[in-house]
Structure 1
């Protein structure tokens, strides 16, 4: 979906958000890196055969109309794995979280923007079916990033056993919320990833006590780690944020390859990975 009028001031917003970093390169380079993003929640109703029957966006009155329209147009194209043959053939509502981003279209020019759904998660764990936080000491803010006021969100996937201790941890993605030169961005991502991994190795979790996952011997959880300086706040629900997504990497022990929701998480709690009804088609970022 093209969105020229809405985001004509995207470059100005990005430049104002990162004056210390913008000086490290020309204004045009800053504009070409800047994107806008928001994370929204809602529900999809999925038929037994895997088709999406309905979609709803939480607090839709607080969401830009064009964004809600994009989600409603995209969802009917999604296809989930069918229910098992011995399962009751009924439709089911599943909570969803989606990240919508506005990006420049390099083929159309600097002033043409495209709005897309870039990631999504679908999670229907009931009480006791998902791991809970145990001890989760936050990481130390990297000094250089703090000096220039660089915020970030790091997506960590951790594997733990029945004792709750983390056996393995891996950084899947580091998203920055200001822009800079390529060299700066690489350095910041490395320092945020290192700080997050150092903290994650000391975390602990409480295993699921209900559902199919409770019988397993180890679990994977995804945890978003937000680095924000004192006095700053995350954008309100339905508001845009400067967003520079980092490369996505897959943990070496990951078994399912259908995960498209690395950076589509609401809240800061751990999310069970590798369970639930799989999205098997129809999602290409556009719907």
Structure 2
């Protein structure tokens, strides 16, 4: 029997949005709903012995520290976002939805804080964080809502609520129609994905990376989704199947995954926290813990 994961609102919802009971022991793999069929996609190849792709491109811990120190003194120039004018969501980003500027890419300042860095991107896009450098903003969010082990989906929901963002929908798998509609309405999304499968050139690669938060900012006319990634500090486009695989295979790799659709709302933080928690739990309980190469002091991409 196939079980679908969607938001777990506390109000009564249609039968098809039943929530799968949470698994308290992360050592037990939860049943994962089938991914949405994608007609143009070839079948996934049989799994081979897992290897974290970040092991192939190590960056020393000292470089992470140097980057963080530099950010603490002065916010680095943000990379130019190519093709923003072509994003379907662009016309409504600043039109009554609470976004005041294009979403910047903010690098994470340590191996496990991609969750706060991703939330900080949305804060900047909504005009927040004034008087703080990017590094200060990220560290402030991390110290208040997350911890050294990363950011769980519930912690992400609370973090977003604390900054005035409402999660309008949560899904444990990639939901193409819901995401496309949200982006067209000027909303954005944060997604918990497999770090081995999300970056450019990873399509068709092996799963088994770490849980990693990224921001989904728009979709172009060719159907490519714009990803803002704190691990690389870059913005890039991915196709439908790559995003589907990166989001859905997490249930096999690290027992979690999915997406949260977000919009600025403001108002009472407690009410937003309650609302967001109705949706965030459907992504599981797993925080990102960084690349498996972390033991060697190399680059990580944990959330």
Give the TM-score band, short-chain normalised: under 0.3
The structure with more radius of gyration: 1
Q: TM-score normalised to the size of structure 2?
A: 0.22
Q: TM-score normalised to the size of structure 1?
A: 0.23
Higher helix share: 2
Higher strand share: 1
